[in-house]
Structure formats: C-alpha cells, structure tokens
Amino acid sequence: MQLKNNEKYKNYFVNKKYNITTFGCQMNEHDSERISYILEDLGYTKTDDRNDADFILFNTCLVRENAELKLYGQVSSLKKLKEENPEKIIAVSGCMMQTSVAREVIEKKHKEVDIIFGTKNINSLPDLLFKYLETGERVIDVSEDNVKDDYVNYNSKNNFQAYVNIMRGCDNFCSYCIVPQSRGREESRRPSHIIEEIENLVKNGYKEITLLGQNVNSYGNKSDFNVTFPELLEKCAKIEGLQRLRFTTSHPKDLSDDLIRVIKENDNICNYFHLPMQSGSDKVLKDMNRKYNKEQYLEKARKLKEEIPGIAISTDIIVGYPTETEEDFQETLDVCRKVGFDTAFTFKYSPRPKTKAAKLDPIDDKIVQDRFDRLLDTLYPIFNEKNKEYVGKVVEVLLESESKNNKNVLTGRTDTFKLVHVKADKNLIGQIVKVKITDNTSFTISGELVQD
C-alpha cells in the first residue's frame, strides 16, 4: 500500500511530538537520525519527554542481551500510558525486529506496540504510519528489500558532526555475532554518492565526519566499482574544507598497509583507530571465527604505532566466551599490556539467538564476573598512564556539549578521541579550540583554554 501522498493526513502531524530511544552502535544512532528527519518532514517536533510524545519509537540493538532486556522493560512501562492515551503510537524498529525470535516476543507479549519495522524499512515509515491510522491495526514491515546507493536525509545530532554510511551488513559470521542476520550481507554504497553526501555536509558547515560500516575495511569487496576502503578514505580526506575524518569499525584481518599509509599522509584523518580484538587467545579467536591470531593482531597494532606516532588505539573485548579457559583469559590480559590500549569496550559474553556460539555450554557466571573484574583492574591503570601522557601538552579539541554535571564546563574530543573537560563559554560549542591539559583520570583529560 502506497500512502505517501495521502491528503487526508497532510497536516495531521503538525502539532504532534515524537520521542526516540536508541540502543546500540553508531549505525543505530544514524538510523535514528534518518527516522527523525522523516518524522519532522511529516510535521512532528521532537520532545525529550516520553510522556509528552504522540509517537514513541524504540530503535533496538540485538548485539548484547542487556540491550534486549532493557527494551522489554521500557516497552512494558508504556502499557499504562497507552491505556490512558490510546491515540499515542508506539513503534519498535531496528536490529531486534529484523530477527524472528525477538520480533515474536514483541508481537505476542507487547500488544501496546502499534508499528514494527526493520533496519531496511526506514524509508517506509510514512506508509506504515498512514496505514496504521487508516486501519487502527498493528502494522509490520521487516521485508528484506535493501535500498541500494541511497542518498538519504537525516537530522544530525548537531550541526558540526555527522555520520555517513558507506556500507551495510557483514559477511564475517563471527560465531558470537548476530549482525549478519540482523543487518544482512555486505553492500557498499557507490563512492560518488558518499563523496557527494560529505561535500554537501561540509558546505553546510560540518567539521567532523565519521564513516560507518560493520567492517569498513572490506568496503567495495563485492561491488561493481573498483575502489578499496583506503582509496575511498583518501578521496574523502581530499574534500576541501573537511577538518576531521573518522571511521568505524575495522576488522583486524582486513587492516592493510595501504590504510595505515593513507591515515599517515592525511592530516585531517584523526589519529585514532578502533581495532576490535575480542580475545587474545589463538584458540578462542579460532572458535570465534575471527580469522587472525594473537601475533597477527599484535603486529598490526605495532605497525599502527610505528607508522603513526601518537595514534590512540581502542578495542573490544569479550570475556567468558564458552570455550575460554583461565589460560586463554591470561592471553587476553597479555595483549592488553603489550598494546597499551587507550580505551576499551568490554563485555561479558551473552549468547545471541541463531549464532554458533549459542549452542555451546556457558561458563559459570561467577567465573565470568571474576575475569571481567580482573580485566578492568588491568585496563584502568593502562588508560590512566596513556591519559597522563597528555598532561602539559596543548591539544586541539572539538567542543561538543555542556558537561552534564557543570554548565560552566564544556566537553569535547581530541583527534585521538580523548574526552576533554574545559571551562569555556557555551558559544564555543562546535568550534575546534586549543586546550592545555593540566589533569587526567583513567577516562578523561582536562585543561585550560589557550588564548590565541
């Protein structure tokens, strides 16, 4: 049913408000930006108060069980609100809805949900809304039709930073990961579309662009155009006026010397590299289907640091994978000490439906928690030492927002992705300023504005 030009609802949304809750990664955040644009194009305005919203959306993540449980709890909390205000529309989208197991939980146990759609059906949201208003019955769209080479509009989180999708999906099939099922197989956007999108953003004053993909390093692999990720990155870096360029996420097996060279040779590509390790054990890495071993990972980290002095490296680590022994865990700690990560995203293993690892017997929760605690005990002093190296230095910081705890303090990021606190007027938000670092913790650095 095509209802996009439905005149009956032409001005229906003008005085209505929407609220979006986003779980998960930057890809989900960017999807929410696209949804926000669609809703505002219809006439909605944004509200941070869920109780005040006429349209409530949860954009979901299925990578970790914790996000899934949070969703069920938050949706359940709206039952009473829906009963008191039947005209409120509640929708659930994203990765969870792309898989039958999670979708069936919402369908059967959460009757308060009116609209369900997947990661590939965002552009159909106006049709789904109109259809629901016409019928009053739940509407579901989780079709697998991908929109290829789409140039999409979206509401960025601010007017100086933006995400740009360069590809969707993943072909790696790590044994613990559900992304290939929820996001589909790899598809790369055409370079010309990506370049055009970034050029328009820069013309509109955006200073920092982050290229997004489940594995950006495999960009172009199955395409009919002959452009690799290092080549695309170099093209993007040459766009006139672009001050900062980031990308995420990279798979270690595909990190090439060409990519390191491009980062080294282009000053506006940030000196920050997210290199997910997951485990330091060769056995566990093989069980995870990661396609690299400990020494190969260490060599790639060594090359990054050798070729790009001062580069910051972050990682992902999973503790308690079903086949992990204490000896395997010690190998992970060994890599942490040898690489000296600037930060890390750490997780306790949680089984995901329809993955190979979900069929394995889990490790006792107490053992997993003990290892997790010891991992953090190892990492935090390393983070502290890495941040301490900044004390006394003058760094450039893109100021992003007011501090949640102190309105007189602004927070921002260095090009190495260090979180910086500095006393400054809020009029400087969105500007790149110089800050002399005077103090640090394991997670932040702080300093004083340097006056030109």
Which CATH number is associated with domain 161-389?
3.80.30.20
Mean pLDDT of 342-350: 96
Mean pLDDT of 175-194: 89
Q: Between the CA of residue 49 and those of 69, 254, 401, what are the distances in Å?
A: 22, 43, 20
Nearest to 197, CA basis, from 221, 226, 166, 225: 166
The pLDDT-based confidence of 328 (bands split at 50, 70, 90) is: very high
Residue type, 148: K
pLDDT at 265 over 70: yes
What CA–CA distance (Å, rounded) separates 363 from 327? 14
The superfamily (CATH) of domain 393-449 is Nucleic acid-binding proteins (2.40.50.140)
DSSP 98-151: GSHHHHHHHHHH-TT--EEE-TT-GGGHHHHHHHHHHH-S-EEE------TT--
Mean pLDDT over each residue of the chain, to the nearest integer: 92
Is the separation of the CB atoms in 266 and 303 below 8 Å? no
- Which range in 43-52, 73-82, 115-124 is most confidently predicted, on average pLDDT? 43-52
Model pLDDT for residues 194-238, shown as the tens digit of each residue: 999 999 999 999 999 999 999 999 999 988 898 999 999 999 999
Would the annotation count 95 as a binding residue? Answer: yes
What CA–CA distance (Å, rounded) separates 329 from 319? 8
Query: By CB neighbour count within 10 A (0-12 exposed, 13-18 middle, 19+ buried), where does 65 fall?
Result: middle
The pLDDT-based confidence of 286 (bands split at 50, 70, 90) is: very high
pTM of the model: 0.89
The pLDDT-based confidence of 68 (bands split at 50, 70, 90) is: confident
Strand partners, 60: 94
Residues of the chain with CATH 3.80.30.20: 161-389
Residues of the chain with CATH 3.40.50.12160: 3-141
Mean pLDDT of 81-95: 93
Residues of the chain with CATH 2.40.50.140: 393-449
pLDDT at 58 over 80: yes
Would the annotation count 170 as a binding residue? Answer: yes
Given the candidates 3.30.70.100, 3.20.20.70, 3.40.50.12160, 3.40.190.10, the CATH classification of the domain at 3-141 is: 3.40.50.12160
Would the annotation count 177 as a binding residue? Answer: yes
235-238: list long-range contacts, CB under 8 Å, 24+ apart: 235/191, 235/195, 236/194, 236/195, 236/198, 236/209, 236/211, 237/262, 237/266, 237/268, 237/269, 238/266
Give the range among 72-76, 262-266, 381-385, 412-416 with minimum mean pLDDT: 72-76
